[in-house]
């Protein structure tokens, strides 16, 4: 398997970000990211004016973010911009009818009394196979303060604002997984320094923001430096949940693995299969950490170590949470689901 780290939900100068693709790709390269997913607000101007390409060794891919007052939707593989005046079920439906796919953006973002914009999702009941942005850096930063004193703390210690994904988001995501595959991503919601140029912190730099949350894709063949080939590999992995989410403030990682196996057969994150008693689940880390195996939204097994192996776990929807550190464990890795079904379809 091949493992590639990327930054997702990035805004450029073609909406309210502060840089063009050259600057963003340079920051991504300096921070060690291998691909970037651009999501400008209600526009594909970046695609039309700069195009998808490799820049500074980084694969630059372009989607968009449909942004009404709330119910924002990140979408990819699209060639036209859905109107943000449509109802959510209409613009989400249009994306899928046109051959694209997408994710509910910051679906449970908390309202902040200092910045009272409401950008959560009202209703997840949509008749499309959408995914969910379960972790959003800027959303968590925005909800980390309730007064001016807390705002100053958040400005000068922004990395401390990163928490695990919202419990209600995880609960809804796990529940949806009982009925269908539901891919998840981690978004940064990066805008660069246009709005925060006076702040010498993570808020005013793409480079620093790119060192917060990452989405790692797992592929069965390597990237080749060919735009068409590599775009299909990365977007397919994102669409199908063959990925895991990492808080780089807690530590970098390569080749985390969570898989089901029976005999010579393996199933990766994002895949589903019929459950059988000879099926096992395995988690592997390069170093010891606190591993939690979640089944159907509830704790199923946990350990401190670099490996966790479970035989005959039973049918269910499984995912992994990893926390790093002993005194104050920090959220580190959240996997996509593996689906062990009693029946398919």
| Strand duo 35-41 + 2-10: pairing | parallel
pLDDT of residue 148: 67
Pick the range with the lowest mean pLDDT from 49-53, 78-82, 197-201, 275-279: 197-201
* CATH homologous superfamily of 257-341: Immunoglobulins (2.60.40.10)
Examine the pLDDT at 158 and tell me if it is beyond 90. no
Q: 52, 34 in Cβ contact below 8 A?
A: no
Question: Given pLDDT bands bounded at 50, 70 and 90, which one contains residue 150?
Answer: low
State the Cα–Cα distance between residues 68 and 52, nearest whole angstrom: 26
Question: Hey, what's the torsion of the CAs at 254, 260, 262, 264, to 10 degrees?
Answer: -30
State the Cα–Cα distance between residues 17 and 62, nearest whole angstrom: 14
Farthest-apart Cα atoms in the chain, separation: 59
Examine the pLDDT at 99 and tell me if it is beyond 90. yes
Q: Decide: residue 318, CB within 10 A, 0-12 exposed, 13-18 middle, 19+ buried.
A: buried
Q: 24, 10 in Cβ contact below 8 A?
A: yes
Examine the pLDDT at 301 and tell me if it is beyond 60. yes
CATH for the 2-247 domain, from 1.10.287.1400, 3.20.20.140, 3.40.50.720, 2.40.110.10: 3.20.20.140
Examine the pLDDT at 193 and tell me if it is beyond 60. yes
pTM summary value: 0.94
Residue in the block written with tokens 């890795």 = 333
pLDDT of residue 345: 73
Mean pLDDT along residues 61-84: 96
Pick the range with the lowest mean pLDDT from 64-68, 73-77, 151-155, 320-324: 151-155
Mean pLDDT along residues 268-285: 96
* Listed residue (71, 147, 79, 74) closest to 109, CA to CA: 71
Q: Where are the domains of the chain?
A: 2-247, 257-341
Examine the pLDDT at 264 and tell me if it is beyond 80. yes
Q: Pull the structure tokens for residue 53.
A: 């390409």
State percent of the chain over pLDDT 90: 80
Strands (E), 168-277: 184-187, 213-219, 243-247, 257-262, 265-267, 272-274
């Amino acid at each position: 398997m091949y493992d590639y780290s990327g930054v997702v939900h990035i805004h450029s100068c073609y909406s309210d970000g502060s840089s063009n693709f050259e600057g963003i790709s340079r920051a991504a390269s300096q921070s060690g990211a291998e691909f970037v997913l651009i999501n400008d607000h209600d526009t594909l101007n970046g695609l039309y004016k700069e195009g998808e390409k490799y820049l500074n060794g980084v694969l630059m891919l372009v989607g968009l973010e449909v942004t009404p007052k709330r119910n924002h939707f990140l979408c990819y593989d699209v060639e036209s911009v859905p109107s943000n005046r449509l109802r959510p079920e209409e613009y989400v439906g249009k994306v899928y009818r046109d051959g694209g796919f997408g994710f509910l953006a910051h679906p449970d973002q908390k309202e902040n009394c200092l910045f009272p914009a409401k950008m959560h999702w009202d209703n997840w009941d949509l008749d499309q196979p959408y995914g969910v942005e379960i972790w959003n850096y800027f959303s968590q930063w925005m909800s980390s303060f309730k007064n001016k004193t807390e705002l100053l703390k958040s400005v000068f210690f922004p990395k401390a604002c990163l928490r695990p994904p919202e419990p209600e988001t995880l609960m809804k995501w796990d529940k949806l997984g009982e009925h269908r595959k539901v891919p998840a991503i981690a978004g940064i919601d990066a805008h660069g320094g246009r709005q925060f140029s006076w702040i010498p912190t993570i808020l005013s730099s793409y480079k620093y923001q790119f060192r917060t949350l990452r989405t790692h894709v797992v592929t069965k063949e390597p990237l080749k430096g060919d735009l068409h080939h590599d775009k299909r590999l990365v977007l397919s992995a994102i669409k199908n949940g063959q990925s895991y989410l990492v808080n780089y403030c807690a530590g970098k990682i390569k080749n985390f693995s969570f898989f089901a196996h029976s005999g010579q057969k393996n199933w990766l994150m994002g895949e589903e299969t019929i459950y059988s008693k000879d099926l096992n689940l395995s988690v592997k880390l390069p170093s010891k950490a606190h591993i939690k195996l979640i089944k159907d939204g509830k704790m199923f097994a946990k350990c401190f170590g670099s490996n966790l192996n479970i035989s005959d776990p039973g049918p269910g929807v499984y995912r992994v949470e990893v926390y790093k550190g002993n005194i104050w464990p920090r959220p580190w890795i959240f996997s996509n689901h593996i689906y062990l079904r009693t029946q398919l379809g």
